[in-house]
Amino acid sequence: MWNIRIYSLTLLCISHVRLILTDFAAPSPRLEEYLVRMISQGKLICTGLIVNRQQVLTAGYCKPDHLTDHIDLLFSDNSINTIKNITMSEHFAAEEASDLLILIELSTELGEKYSNLPPICRERPPVTDMVEHWSWNSDGRELQKMLTPQSSTLECRREINDPDGFIIGNDTVCLRNKMVTNGCVKNFGMPFVWRNSFCGINILAHNCQIDGNTDIFVRLLKSY
């Protein structure tokens, strides 16, 4: 009888400890809260993805010396951070594509809620699946989402006139952007989403360096 009571009490204590730990655990950010807007002279120039408390992942195009010397990083809670250092990304994309992404080291460390990696796709989305294409509205303040079809590797090469695969390969994913525009839409650094995970970073927005309504992404890989 006593053994049963002690066993029950032990289970109760363990459950209570687990409950306390759960109550004090930092809530996981919503997917949108991982986005960082890169602002120069009041204008949105690029987007980044928070990957830990000290670093933001974005497209190599967004490296400051390609654009301007001063960039503010605007977070979802409207707080502002600045750039401390920039390195190449070695762990979030395949080796052949690692030079297309960069890691921005923040001047000020973020809170505990960003201690863990954001959800990153474990596999490449099947080309027949629709995915979420994210972009900012015209003033760069409102996030827009739409379901978008993918293009196969061969289709994408035809669409952007890359028959030899100089740009499009196994480490890239192409989305057909249904928001047709005449000018360049600067979605550089913006991720796309599939099954509630981030699957790629935009390195070539449509109607920018290449005419057409195709967005090209470097496929993200889990770094653990």
Greater confidence (3 vs 19) lies with: 3
Residue 22: pLDDT over 70: no
User: Measuring CA to CA, how many Å separate 34 from each of 9, 45, 53, 114, 115?
Assistant: 42, 17, 11, 8, 12
Residue 109 has a CB neighbour count (10 Å cut-off) of 12
Least confident of 53-62, 120-129, 160-169: 160-169
Domains, the chain: 31-114 (2.40.10.10), 131-219 (2.40.10.10)
Greater confidence (220 vs 68) lies with: 220
- The mean predicted confidence, pLDDT, of the chain is 83
Query: Confidence class of residue 118 from pLDDT cuts 50, 70 and 90?
Result: very high
Rounded distance, CA 105 to CA 83, Å? 6
Question: Tell me, what's the pLDDT at 182?
Answer: 64
Per-residue pLDDT tens over the stretch 148-206: 999 999 999 988 888 888 888 889 999 987 665 666 667 899 999 999 999 999 998 76
Question: Tell me, what's the pLDDT at 99?
Answer: 86
41 closest CA partner among 61, 66, 68: 68
Rounded distance, CA 224 to CA 204, Å? 27
